[in-house]
Amino acid sequence: MSIKLTVNGESRELDVDPDMPLLWAIRDHLELAGTKFGCGMALCGACTVHIDGQPTRSCVTPVGSVAGKSITTIEGLASPAGKAVQQAWIALDVPQCGYCQSGQIMSAAALLGANPQPSDADIDAAMSGNICRCATYVRIRAAIHQAATALAAPKPAGS
Amino acid sequence: MYARYLEEASRASGSAPSLTRRQFLGLTTLAGSGLTLGVLLPGCGSAGPGGGAAAAPAAPLEMPFVRIAPDNTVTVISKHLEAGQGVWTGLPAIVAEELDASWEQMRVESAPAKVPMYQNLAFVPLGVHAQFTGGSTAVANSWEQLRQAGATARAMLVAAAAQQWGVPAAEVIVSEGVVAHTASGHKASFGELAGSAAKQPVPAKVTLKDPASFRIIGREKLPRLDSRAKSTGVQQYAIDVRLPGMMTAVVARPRRFGGKVKSFDATKARAVAGVVDVVEIPRGVAVVARDTWSAKKGREALSVTWDESAAEKRGTAQLLREYRALGRGKQAVTAAQAGDADKALMHAVHRVEGEFEFPYLAHATMEPLTAVCALSADKCEIWAGCQMQTPDQAAAAAITGLKPEQVFIYTLAAGGTFGRRATPDSDFVSEVTSIAKATGGKYPVRLIWTREDDITGGRYRPLNYHRIEAGIDKDGKLAWRQRIVGQSILIGTPFEPVLVKNGLDPTAVGGNAAEEYDLDHVHVSWTQAKVGVPVLWWRSVENTHTAYSKEVMIDELAQAAGEDPVAFRLKFLGKHPRHAAALKLAAEKAGWDRPFPQEKGRGRGIAVHESFGSVVAQVAEVTVTGDRIAVDRVVCAVDCGIAVTPDVVKAQMQSAIGYGLSAALLGKITLTDGHVDQSNFHQYQVLRLQDMPRSVEVYIVPSTNAPSGVGEPGTPPIAPAVANAVRAATGIRLHTLPFDLAAARRASA
């Protein structure tokens, strides 16, 4: 059975078991490796993608359930909030091993997309599902605040 | 403790050897023989008024640790695994400094598996000639080697420029990646000079910089070379490798440690769509499929009968009962002895005692163990986040019957390790090689461990039990008696003959009080527990438990003596000036001299510990609400010698604090009848963002000593600092990890 979905703005067609988690469809069949496997039970957030803009754990989302939907992975992250988050991540050297960071960034981008000026409590709530064993949490908090500040700043003239 | 072992061994054998000039020259010549074609790129030959460099063909300068390419990039060849600890920034920084490169032109790549060229020099004095990353040695053992490499490349660029421009080499200057001669106005980039530099003789001797003139080393904020790739999803890990025709495998392993395959029925597994092979390997049964999902479904359908006759069937409760009995028994190996601890304790003016229990801990790296293997008749290629390339190469050679030099290891960034990827028997690399062999090399195969495989897979920080009696005699002398009971990490591995002396495993007892305080009367002993649960080094190894019991007991003794915890410790740190300095710096920055707010449930604690050549002191501030412990603030001081990349040092302290806090507040692996009780993050809980202290401040003790480790030494002090803060807040002693305040209250009632 063929499943049609939109991934990073492109129409894609998959001929896989509809029960296959979206994570493995993305990684093994669409060959987009930026989305990571961490637990397979929606416990760690490493597999976070956006489905119609909502942060979603792809490891427990059957690919058949997202037919016709629009999926954004780290490779296609292009929203202003997403870009601001990535820039802050790089500027503050957030990543260590880096493995969980695609998921962290997807969660942070969704947070800032919905709430451009999050409080510490908002950040705690939005990011509590994303585990980082390198415990880069101090810098994740700082980078989210920095990205929020950058988003709020007036755009330079001419841009 | 092996940091101390290494220092001693190093002193005994003179300085750690580096590559001989002959080896170095041979490699240079070999590498210079044409990896890149000598093509002169139009328009790229000239920079500056002289432009003489345009005459030379565009070719790289290739050396074992540095490649300067015609495109003006400088690539440092990292013999160490990047697992988050920052070696892909620290090692290039050392080279860039001596080379006078600009940071923007620096690149990094992994070295191939090759000894002696890429061996870890820290272990050479012990007779270990292996390429591996561990013991927080990456920067420390590379320090002289990479300074030499950078200075040598610089000298060859200078010689090439002097020759082309016809000027004295002494007048050629190098700055920010540009080679220049002021008087004549000649100027060239590294890339332009690389080809001619490769033809220069390798200097026999180079002069290293005076550390006072360092401008890259020690720079407060040197951007990590891997941040962009790791923030955009393009960093490649072993799990991301895709080869044409590659299959994915998962392995069904025994449910109890020590179990073996008796028989299996693959009929249903083979019927799963996508499954291509089911093969037995020494560690279980591998299901190979076209994708990960099919492999997992195939494994679920697989029926295996296990032979558990030799399997470990005890549970944690029984093990701890046995450990407590062993802790009171006579059978033990002495780890440290001085004075007369028994007598001094009998006459102590102030005396405390305690029993401590530390659980098994899983490393739980975010990238589960993964490796890819492509096997042919005369070649075995492995892609993995390898931490021990030489043993891994040997293991793959033994399995395939190939020679080690026919095994090619491509070391990729690892999604965390914390020690897990350094198994003396190369567990996951052996497994993938065994699967490739069992399937006849028909296709490249990728092995993935699921999270459940990881959490239940053993290789844990060992379960430990400590008993301590500590006291102060009438003359103010410190007396200490301690028994440690736990499994050995080293005994039974290839490291045993090298590191185990007189039956004592240094990775079981290092960092105990005898090593860290001035003790007049001390007896520390160790009893090896024999358990079938595989154990391994876990970020800071034995210091995860020895620092804890030491720093909690010393704090309780200060309290018994009615003295300030900082002042009390300083009395016994006369022979440990680096400990004293770090302790004072942490205390000063935390405002220790000011009274802590006397609010209900709030408390402040301190701890100091040396491991891997570095000393770290931490002050923790906590708020206890009911039975919940919140860590509000941590102030950390670290003496790691010269801080090559201070922001990476700070990141490692932040990381180690979070990792240690995770273990202190949440981490435990338990067993029931030999079965692991936890399987995934819902049961093996780890620290999440909301539990990370809001404020983590890191201060670096200024030093002119050569660099020492930073990956691990930040971990040991955090748990005792928090325990001491909780005791200050509540009066409750926490001697069992992870912290369970309700249980501790019941025990003290």
pLDDT-based confidence at residue A154 (cuts at 50, 70, 90): confident
Contacting residues for A43 by C-beta, under 8 A, at least 6 apart? A129, A131, B680, B681, B682
Q: Over the stretch A77-109, which tens digit does the pLDDT of each residue have?
A: 999 999 999 999 999 999 999 999 999 999 999
pLDDT-based confidence at residue A157 (cuts at 50, 70, 90): low
How many C-beta neighbours within 10 Å does residue A146 have? 18
Q: Is the dihedral of CA B524, B525, B529, B533 positive or negative?
A: positive
Of A33, A120, A135, the CB nearest to B687: A135
Distance CA B124, CA B128 (A): 5
Contact check, Cβ <8 Å, B689/A140:
yes
Of B293, B368, B647, the CB nearest to A17: B293
Question: Is B264 exposed, middle or buried, given 0-12, 13-18 or 19+ CB atoms closer than 10 A?
Answer: middle
Contact check, Cβ <8 Å, A139/B651:
yes
CB-CB neighbors (< 8 A) of A75 in chain B: 232-234
- The two tokens of residue B552 are 């909690």
Task: Find how far residue B107's CA is from the centre of its chain.
Answer: 22
CB-CB neighbors (< 8 A) of B696 in chain A: 138
CB-CB neighbors (< 8 A) of A44 in chain B: 366, 451, 681
Buried b vs exposed e over B486-516: b needs ≥16 C-beta within 10 Å?
A: bbbbbbebebeebbbeeebbbbbbbbbbbbb
Give the ipTM of the model, two decimals please: 0.97
Closest chain A residue to the Cα of B233, Cα to Cα: A34
Q: How far is A147 from chain B (nearest CA, A)?
A: 14
Placement of tokens 């009968």 in the chain: B305
What are φ and ψ of residue B542, in 5° steps? Answer: -70, -25
Of B227, B292, B364, the CB nearest to A28: B292
Show the CA angle centred on residue B106, arms to residues B105 and B109, nearest 5°. 135
Closest chain A residue to the Cα of B452, Cα to Cα: A39
Distance CA B40, CA B42 (A): 6
Of B368, B452, B681, the CB nearest to A131: B681
Looking at residue B748, its pLDDT comes to 86
Distance CA B393, CA B429 (A): 9
Mean pLDDT by 10 residues, chain B (749 residues): 43 36 32 26 30 59 98 98 98 98 98 97 93 96 98 98 98 98 98 97 97 97 98 98 98 98 98 98 98 98 98 98 98 97 96 98 98 98 98 98 98 98 96 98 98 98 98 95 98 93 97 96 98 98 98 98 98 98 98 94 98 98 97 98 98 98 98 98 98 98 97 98 98 98 93
